[in-house]
Structure formats: C-alpha cells, structure tokens
Amino acid sequence: MDIAQLKDVFQKHYGAPDAVYSSPGRINLIGEHTDYNGGFVLPGAIDKGITLAIKANGTDKIRVFSVDYNESSEFGMSEADKPAQPWAKYIFGVVREIEKRGGKIKGFDAAFYGDVPLGAGLSSSAALESAFVFALDDIYGLGIDKFELAKIGQATEHNYVGVKCGIMDQFASIFGKKGNLIRLDCRSLEHQYVPFNPAGYKLVLIDSCVKHELVNNPYNRRRESCEAAAAAIRKRHPEVEFLRDASFAMLEEVKSEICEEDYIRAEFVIGEVQRLLDACDALVKDDYVTVGQKMYETHAGLSKLYEVSCEELDFLNDCAKKYSVTGSRIMGGGFGGCTINLVEESKYASFISGAIADYKAKFSIEPKVYDVVISDGARKIE
C-alpha cells in the first residue's frame, strides 16, 4: 500500500480526502527497565508507521476504514459510543481524550494502513494513536502542544485499551526526528536529542517470535526489588528518590540489609542508567563500537542480573556475537520479542542468513527480520 492507493481506498468509501498524515513506531536503543526507576530511555522514531487519509464529514459520526483489517467502524463521540472493533478503540480513545481536555472536534471520515509489525515491541499502537491525535489537532486547529499530544495517546492506552504504559512510545512517535534519538528523562520528562547517524551500519530487529507466559507477575517483583533497594539506600542517603540517583558504592553499603535478589536487580538498574549515559557520550562522538559494547552489556545484565531473558533471546544474542555484530540486546521488557542489533553493512547479509538458519535449526521457528531507519515523528504528508 502507498499513499496514492490509500487515497483511492478513501475515495471509494468517502469521496476525496482533505489531508494525509503519518506517525511512526519506535525502537529503544538502550535503557531498559529504567523508566520506573526514574531514569532515562533512548528511543527513536522509525521508518514504519501508520498513514491515514482524513476529511471532516460535517456530522457527529466518525467513520473509519482499516485497510489492513479490511474492516469499517462507525461510532459516535460520547463515552457510551465505544466501538466494537478492537483497533477502533484507539481512535475512539483519542477522540474522547481530546474532548476531555476541552478540544472541540466534529465527525470525520478516515482510512488508514500501517507497516509497523503488530505486537513485536515496535509500538504500532502508539503509531496509531499519534497519527490520529496529530491529524485531529491539525485539521481542527486545536493548537495542542506536542507533549500533550503524546499524553493523549498514553491516556488512550490507560483508559480505553487497558494498558498501563509509560509515555516513551507516544513521546517518540510525536517527537521523533530523523538522524536523532531522544534521551527522555522519565522523572522530569525533559528530553534532549542525541545524534544518531551510524554511517556504514544498519539497525535491524530479529523477532524471536516467542512470548513466554509470565507466572507470578515477574515485572511486579522486579519493581518491588527496585523499590526495596532504593528504600534501603534512602535511609543513609535521603536524596535518593529512585535507583536512578544511586551509585554502586551506595548499593554496597546496604548489601547486608537487602536480600540477594533485590541486590542483583538494583545492580542491573544502576549499571543500566550509567550505560545509557555512556552510550549517549559515545553517540556524540560517532563511536558506534562503544555504543555496541554497551548494548551487549545491557543484554548480559538483563539476562544474568535482571533475569528477564529467555533461551531464545540469549541464543539470538549469541548469534550476533558469532556473526561479528557490533551491538545486540533484548529490546523491551523481556521473556520474548525482539533483539535490536547494530550491524556493520558488510556483516549484515551473513548475520541475517546465519541467524535465521541457526535459530530455525535450534527452535524450529523462522525468526522475522525488521530493518529500521531512525526517522521523523508525526507529520502531515499532504
């Protein structure tokens, strides 16, 4: 599907569109499980997203056509009008969250398609929310600031989808900038662009295509460990609000006061906060070898200390080493999903064919491969 075809689809359903908008998915280069520890993340928007054609229709009804599901949805704008189609809830939620903030919008027609793989950890849902909130803000001249646009997408996930996510995905989709990653401080929500121009390298995700069932809510246990370690440190160092504020020396001081599990979890987080900052320093110097080393260190920490890896992801990480990939790590919460890999162009072909063959031989699953290029955030196309 391309924009001309999208406009044809729109034409068939609703007549000529007024405008076309697009908003991307995202990767996170480094900084995992740092968000709820008040630390930084380092996302970037990618060259895959949701593209929509739209036109106000002068009624109180919203009519939307999903090209990828080949399905229409029609719904009103009040709280009782929640649509039946799961994908339409993201659009309904955006409309509701705009209205809750006093934004005045009317009915519209829209058709959209996307090329962010669903549920692979690239945040197709944030791309969908951001595309609609950005388009509606623009066609109705609402003048909502960019940060609030991202918050509307996040609130949609919380209140209309039931996913209690942080703000990183929507933030990256709205604020993304070609040739830059975004260092987002999850405590202050301040952000800073960090150059990302890896000439001679590619970024590629390898999807393990597994999602392990989680028992006993391991994520909650990780959070509790982090809070317990931070609380122990805070007794001696009142300035430590989150583990983000702690050093390895502070952690050593409380070693005998916390359990072994809490200790190793905190060891990972304190290291991860520092690794992200080190990676940012290296990026400013175009030192991608160091960036890659940090990615491998993150993987090792996620696997051995934070214990959120799995056999498949560790195997893919070993594959990356075997084929001389510069950097590789689990992206996302863990227990399945993708690895993100920084690969020299000259090593790319052998890595991809080797990793696919090796993974298939070991697990009888063909992993999926997604090339990504860091690109602009939400925008009007025409």
In the set 125, 154, 170, 303, which binds Mg ion (CB under 5 A)?
Answer: 125
Closest approach, Cβ 67 to ligand ADP, in A, equals: 7
Helix (H, G, I), strand (E, B) or coil at 48: strand
Residue 378: which region, alpha, beta or left (left: phi > 0; alpha: psi -120 to 50)? beta
Q: Contact between 86 and ligand ADP (CB under 6 A)? A: yes
Q: Which residue is nearest to ligand ADP (CB)?
A: 114
CB atoms within 10 A of CB 59: 12
Distance of CA 164 to the CA centre of its chain: 14
In the set 11, 60, 69, 72, which binds ligand ADP (CB under 6 A)?
Answer: 69
Q: Contact between 28 and Mg ion (CB under 5 A)? A: no
Q: Contact between 130 and ligand ADP (CB under 6 A)? A: no
Burial pattern 277-301, b for ≥16 Cβ within 10 A else e, equals: bbbbebbeeeebebbbbbbbbbbbb
CA pair distance 106, 98, nearest whole angstrom: 11
In the set 22, 23, 51, 124, which binds ligand ADP (CB under 6 A)?
Answer: 124
Q: Contact between 125 and ligand ADP (CB under 6 A)? A: yes
Closest approach, Cβ 180 to ligand ADP, in A, equals: 22
Q: Contact between 118 and ligand ADP (CB under 6 A)? A: yes
Which of Mg ion, ligand ADP, none lies near 114, with the C-beta cut-off 5 to 8 A by kind? Answer: ligand ADP
Which of ligand ADP, Mg ion, none lies near 208, with the C-beta cut-off 5 to 8 A by kind? Answer: none
Q: Contact between 119 and ligand ADP (CB under 6 A)? A: yes
Distance between start and end Cα atoms, the chain: 16
Q: Contact between 66 and ligand ADP (CB under 6 A)? A: yes
**Residue holding tokens 């697009």?**
22
Among the candidate windows 62-70, 125-133, 331-339, 371-379, which touches Mg ion by CB under 5 A? Answer: 125-133
Closest by Cα among 50, 58, 67 to 108? 58
Phi (first) and psi of residue 216, to 5 degrees: 60, 30
Q: Element (H or E) spanning 151, and its range?
A: helix 146-156
Closest approach, Cβ 43 to ligand ADP, in A, equals: 13
Check if the beta carbon of residue 335 is closer than 8 Å to that of residue 211.
yes
Question: Closer CB to Mg ion, residue 22 or residue 123?
Answer: 123
CA pair distance 313, 303, nearest whole angstrom: 9
Total residues found in the chain within this entry = 382
CA pair distance 331, 214, nearest whole angstrom: 17
In the set 27, 128, 172, 204, which binds ligand ADP (CB under 6 A)?
Answer: 128
Which of ligand ADP, Mg ion, none lies near 31, with the C-beta cut-off 5 to 8 A by kind? Answer: none
- List Cα–Cα distances, 242 to 35, 37, 168, in angstroms: 10, 5, 18
Closest approach, Cβ 123 to Mg ion, in A, equals: 5
Mask: binding to ligand ADP, 18-57, rule CB under 6 A, as x and -? --------------------------------x-------
| Catalytic (active-site) positions | 169
Residues that bind ligand ADP (CB under 6 A): 50, 66, 68-69, 86-87, 90, 113-114, 116, 118-119, 121-125, 128
